[in-house]
Amino acid sequence: MTETKKLVNTIVEGIQEKKGYKIVIADLTHIDNTICKYFIICQGNSPSQVSAVTDEIYDHVCEDSGEKPISIDGKNNSEWVAIDYSDIVVHVFLPEIRKYYDLEHLWEDAQLTEIADFN
């Protein structure tokens, strides 16, 4: 397993730890001229949950691999937070914002993998 795939798995674990849901992994590795190799998209029910998921991803990745993101944008209002790990960009949305931007449709040429929600 590559380091990037391990990081994808670690990020998903962090999302699930704080009950982030509707996780989709967009594999962009077979698409030319993309900004990264993977998008990971998920959502939380409230700004506080979006913030908690974002914090857990950061902590979980730091603890597991020692990696820190290049940047985290959107944390001030926690409606759409983007976490940039260079090869992976994580998007944590409120449901209505996710629906509006519809990143899955935007990257429909990518291989999309849906991760089952924990109950």
Give tens-digit pLDDT for 63-106. Answer: 999 999 999 999 999 999 999 999 999 999 999 999 999 998 88
- The answer as to whether 56 is a domain residue is yes
DSSP 3-state of 20: coil
- The answer as to whether 116 is a domain residue is no
- The answer as to whether 94 is a domain residue is yes
Kindly report the CATH number assigned to the domain that includes residue 61.
3.30.460.10
Total domains, the chain: 1
Average pLDDT, the chain: 95
- The answer as to whether 11 is a domain residue is yes
CA distance 111 to 89: 15
DSSP assignments along 60-72, one per residue = HHHHHH----SEE
Q: Are 43 and 21 in contact (CB under 8 A)?
A: yes
Domain that holds residue 34: 3-108
The pTM is what? 0.94
- The answer as to whether 117 is a domain residue is no
- The answer as to whether 18 is a domain residue is yes
- The answer as to whether 28 is a domain residue is yes
- The answer as to whether 119 is a domain residue is no
